[in-house]
Structure 1
Amino acid sequence: MKHQVARIHPADNVLVALVDLPIGTEVPWEGGFVTTAEAIPAKHKLAPEGLAPGQDVTMYGVLVGQAREAIRPGGRLTTANIKHATDSYDEHARHTRAAWTAPDVSHWQDRTFLGFHRPDGRVGTANYWLVIPLVFCENRNIQVLEQALVTDLGYARRKSYQPQTQELLSLLKAGKSVEEILNADLQTARDDAARNRPFPNVDGIRFLTHEGGCGGIRQDAQTLCGLLAGYITHPNVAGATVLSLGCQNAQAAMLQDEIAKRDPQFAKPLYILDQQKLGTEDELIGTALRQTFAGLMLANQARREPAPLSKLNIGLECGGSDGFSGISANPALGHVSDMLVALGGSVILAEFPELCGVEQELVDRSVDQPTAERFSSLMKAYGDSAVAVGSGFDMNPSPGNIRDGLITDAMKSAGAARKGGSSPVVAVLDYPELVTKPGLNLLCTPGNDVESTTAEVGSGANIVLFTTGLGTPTGNPIAPVVKIASNTALARRMPDIIDLNTGTVIDGEETIEQAGERILDYVVRVASGEEVAAVRHDQTDFIPWKRGVSL
């Protein structure tokens, strides 16, 4: 049965509206009623006992804001009457915590997925070939290679809207009016070249254009090479073709050093071409085509074989969050995270600006003092860099977040952090370091959806679980990105981009644990090759983080 409101934690002094509450609505609460003093839209918060000026606002059991002014009992919390506030934290004052109680995973202990086993012991959930520029000067040549390879090899996946343009031109020639044009029923087309793939065991060729590799500072080039090395050595990748101009900061030797850091025994086919050495475009493109084709022949020899769930490395992501994300989709992912950790797998919690206000909890969950200190150091340095340019973590919530109930960064962060479950933090990584330990890893990234997803995959995530309350099509070139709706209305409105719905928790149809079990079952199928919406749509977003201030 669906309730009208929810209190997330016993210590909270605000409630979340689960449905639209008109002014004067009597909401059953703690043996009595709360009468709404104004209209409270679903996903927004109300103060059941009112708030005094300066009074702390608590959600998820942590400080998420302070009242700017008096708020009547049953009044709505808004950006006008609430300001961002968080508790301080100290990496040296760790509390004694009870040992973590892992969830019962006996049902999953013997489950396997069908993946691609790599020489370094990792297992891929897909099998891609990469074509990468070391510098933005090569982006055009990458696009030339894409035009030459994708359609003829059966990897064109995008819908074509060209038939709509042709229909519109026909209507124009027929003398139709503007009104008739606006109301025309137009058709789309999809390329069916995939039916004729000569390399059926290769899921695709991915072309990772970017705007880096030269200019900026030398550390930018080093960081970019580290990220690209993370993709080349990734278990979802069979090999790569790399185009270098020759004179840029991101030199081929730098890339090879970064590859060796991540995989000292690197054994995948890797072709690096230097345009300034090869000379003409014809020579460069012709050589790249021959080498890429040969690499695809080698990649096609791979086959899916059973692997334990401990070989899964899951990135946890959210984007277009709403006021339900922290009480449905994110805690459901938290349960998935805990189950995977109990099974010996790895999970990555990133988006450091969206951990603002829950730092002490993560410090306390760290397995040792150096881990706690590294997390604190990275958080403080990131926060200071934002303040230095006149910004701050408090500016993280987007207009869409605010419109749908996330009115302070701390409120957003407290809900976002629930994706990480309750297991110990085994490692803290700085971008773009590689995950090497099973368990919960924290990765320093921006809150920006695509930058963070790009980073998680570069650090080894072979699947990304991405929660959204407003809807976003974000994908990744090499890792399946599973889109999980926080509310049923979104799942119904955008079924073409949503894979799973956890609005069932809000609707009272299942528990968080049941939703988590359903998600994990879907993850096993995706890891074995079932396509997610982002893959079907050829959504291959890739944005390296340039280590500037990005929230």
Structure 2
Amino acid sequence: MTPLSRALKLHADDDVAIAREAVAANTTLNEFDGLVVRQDVPAAHKIALREIAVGEAVRRYGQIIGFATAGITRGDHVHTHNLSIGAFDRDYAFSSDLKPVAQPVQPMTFMGIRRPDGRIATRNYVGVVSTVNCSATVSKRVAQHFAAPGALDAFPNVDGVVPITHSFGCCIDHNGEGIQQLRRTIGGYVKHANFAGVLVIGLGCEANQMGALFVAEGVESGPMIVPLVMQELGGTQKTIDAAIEAVNAMLPQANQVVREPVPVSHISVALQCGGSDGYSGITANPALGAAVDLLVHHGGTAILTETPEIYGAEHLLTRRAVSREVGEKIVERIHWWESYADREKGSIDNNPTPGNKAGGLTTILEKSLGAVAKSGSTPLTGVYRYAEPVDTHGLVFMDAPGYDPMGATGQIASGANLVVFTTGRGSCFGAKPAPSIKLATNTRMYERMRDDMDINCGDIMDGDSTVQQKGEEIFQAIVRVASGERSRSEVLGVGDEEFVPWMIGAQM
């Protein structure tokens, strides 16, 4: 890139260039042999570099992003009016691009919190978790009590009291896959290292019974994990009073933490992108991928998710799988989503969202290719079901829908103790108890929303930084935030409403 280039070709085989800024009709792009732009093209949208016939594949990143639905002339704006998703064969080539991860000469450390059982935390919260929507109000009221000015002044090492509430927990099959997944998700939060203590509050008559939840998830009650049932305690106010008393009893012990140097290998990062645009796959996502490579180099873990948002790019992951078995798990999940979309009479291409399309993304294939860039270049070491505990290090994949809060909920339940979230449109996101770092894909949005954005990756597009330089900056930010530095979303207090379990199965 040079400061004078108006558009960017990402790969030698590409059929389109990406507008670095809005380009008016009749503009001549000398960097593409005098190409004349035939229509106004918004920033981050695509410009045809050659004649493309109806039905012909169109490539970006050197990969297929769709098929022409109308004849496309060199210089045309390429978007939803002339490009659509289509079926094509992927060459999965299992493990063919597998590269070993070099071991660091000097492993890095961060200032973490060591729990008595050896787990490492990046934050020190007390959680108030509801088993069912019917106990959500009580859970929120308890957290609100401790959010009052001065309520936690005597406990400076406690980061806060967090409500974990949701809209489910009843009128589902008592033994079905839906309730098993919900319990797995709730159990992951109850056992999360970033919670020093947890209250679990139920109504009493719900399908998601407290006892069954604790047994299924191997949770044992005690001074720092306290179950409360509203119908047994006498209702709303009595449960609130009992819950406040229980949290007050936890706080002195929760406050007795000291951060100490621990290996970076204890950091587990949830990779997220939302409100994406045409720059996401050029700036923030590959920069995050470079940071992931550094994290994995130091023994850490990165969790990629949102299966519909790797659709059409899954072959890039199977080629990096540590074994054919791991790669085939990705393919199996892709086929499940194809069947699910067909059964529900929907289309995986309903994602990208309207905002994504306004930002220049046309098909899910195009979005997926940019989204997978978050994963860097290291081997894929495991594939997990939603909210399943991640028990390996390195880059892993977790199955989830493409809805960001739902994906992040599963990642945190699986053990992620930090979130990094890229956005081009300006997503405002936090996900307690895990701190969230937000990366802006373009400078214009970063300047407009600086209160919400932690790092500007738009300077890659501006020509002022490289992907590798920005990756190093992101990695260092991960280490600092894991060590206690507050992210923008934490300063704003965002993150109490983002627990969104993926609820599957019939509601009855």
* Counterpart Cα distance in 2 of 1:243 and 1:267: 14
Distance 2:419 2:214 in 1: 26
Q: Is the CA contact (8 Å cut-off) linking 2:99 and 2:320 kept in structure 1?
A: no
Q: Deviations over 1:407-430 (max 9, x none)?
A: 111011110110011111111001
**SS of match in other structure, 1:446:** coil
Structure 2 residue corresponding to 1:212, chosen from 168, 176, 189: 168
1:357 and 1:411 map into 2 onto residues whose CA distance is 8
Structure 1 residue runs of 5 or longer lacking an equivalent are: 156-196
Q: Is the 8 A contact 2:26 2:39 kept in 1?
A: yes
How has the CA–CA distance of structure 1 residues 467 and 5 changed in structure 2, closer, same or farther, with 3 Å as cutoff?
same
Render the CA deviation track for 1:75-94: whole Å, top value 9, x for unaligned. Answer: 1102111111353347xx63
Q: SS in structure 2 opposite 1:239?
A: strand
The equivalent of 2:63 in structure 1 is 62
Contact 2:47 2:76 (C-alpha < 8 Å) held by counterparts: yes
Between the aligned partners of 1:82 and 1:148, the Cα distance in structure 2 is 53
Counterpart contact for 1:64–1:86, Cα < 8 Å: no
Cα distance between partner residues in 2 of 1:44 and 1:14: 9
Cα pair distance change 1:40/1:548, threshold 3 Å: farther
Q: Deviations over 1:241-288 (max 9, x none)?
A: 11122221112223223432xx8x998810001222222445423322
Q: 1:230 aligns to what?
A: 188
Q: CA deviation at 1:95?
A: 4.6
Task: Give the alignment partner of residue 455 of structure 1, picking from 385, 410, 424.
Answer: 410
Matching residue of 1:27? 29
Alignment partner of 1:207: what SS?
strand
**1:295 partner SS:** helix
The range that moved more, 109-118 or 394-403, is: 109-118
Cα distance, 1:548–1:153 mapped onto 2, change above 3 Å: farther
Length-normalised TM-score, structure 1: 0.87
Q: What residue number does 1:168 align with?
A: none
Aligned to 2:433: 478
The answer to whether the 8 Å contact 2:100/2:379 transfers is no
2:136 aligns with 139
For 2:221 and 2:99, the matched residues in 1 are separated by: 36
CA distance in 2, matches of 1:278, 1:123: 34
Residues 64 and 548 from structure 1, CA distance in 2 versus in 1: closer, same or farther, beyond 3 angstroms?
A: farther
**1:86–1:410 contact (8 Å) kept in structure 2:** no
Which among 390, 404, 415 is matched to residue 359 of structure 2? 404
1:29 alignment partner, SS class: helix
Alpha-carbon contact 2:109-2:264 (below 8 Å) kept: yes
Do the aligned partners of 1:367 and 1:425 also contact (CA within 8 Å) in 2? yes
Q: What are the superposed Cα offsets for residues 283-334 of structure 1, whole Å, 9 maximum, x if unpaired?
A: 4233222111111111111111111111110111001000000000000011
Aligned CA distance change for structure 1 residues 240 and 423 (closer, same or farther; 3 Å): same
Q: After superposition, what is the alpha-carbon deviation per residue over 1:310-359, rounded to whole angstroms, capped at 9, x for unaligned?
A: 11101110010000000000000111111111111100000111001012
Letter in 2 for 1:493: R
Name the counterpart of 1:544.
501
Which structure is larger by alpha-carbon Rg, 1 or 2?
Answer: 1
What percentage of residue pairs aligned between the two structures are identical?
A: 36
- CA gap 1:393/1:98 in 2 versus in 1, 3 angstroms: closer
* 1:92-491 matched pairs, under 5 angstroms: 94-95=93-94, 97-100=96-99, 102=101, 109-151=106-148, 153-154=150-151, 197-218=153-174, 219-260=177-218, 269-491=224-446
TM-score (norm 2): 0.94
Do the aligned partners of 1:17 and 1:44 also contact (CA within 8 Å) in 2?
yes
Runs of 5+ consecutive residues of structure 2 not aligned to the other structure = none
User: How far apart in 1 are the matches of 2:502 and 2:334?
Assistant: 16
CA apart distance, 1:56: 0.4
Following superposition, the deviation at residue 119 of structure 1 comes to 3.5
1:184 aligned residue: none
Match of 1:36 in 2: 37
Distance change in 2, residues 1:266/1:114 (3 Å): farther
CA–CA separation in structure 1 for the residues paired with 2:208 and 2:149:
32
2:35 maps to 1:78? no
Q: Is the 8 A contact 1:449 1:474 kept in 2?
A: no
Deviation at 1:464? 0.6
CA-based RMSD of the aligned residues comes to 2.0
Cα deviation digits, residues 471-525 of structure 1 (max 9, x gap): 0111112011111000000110011111110001000001100000011111111
The 1-side partners of 2:140 and 2:337 are apart by 35
Partner Cα distance (2:340, 2:268) in 1: 30
Distance 1:548 1:9 in 2: 43
Matched, 1:525 2:499: no
Distance 1:253 1:442 in 2: 31
1:298 alignment partner AA: Q
Q: Is the 8 A contact 1:467 1:485 kept in 2?
A: yes
| Partner Cα separation in structure 2 for residue 283 and residue 151 of structure 1 | 20
How many residue pairs end up in the alignment? 500
Q: Give the equivalent residue in structure 2 for 1:52.
A: 53
The aligned counterpart of 1:13 is: 15
Moved more, 296-305 or 511-520: 296-305
Counterpart of 1:181 in structure 2 is none
Where 1:460 maps in the other structure, the secondary structure is coil
Q: CA deviation at 1:12?
A: 1.5
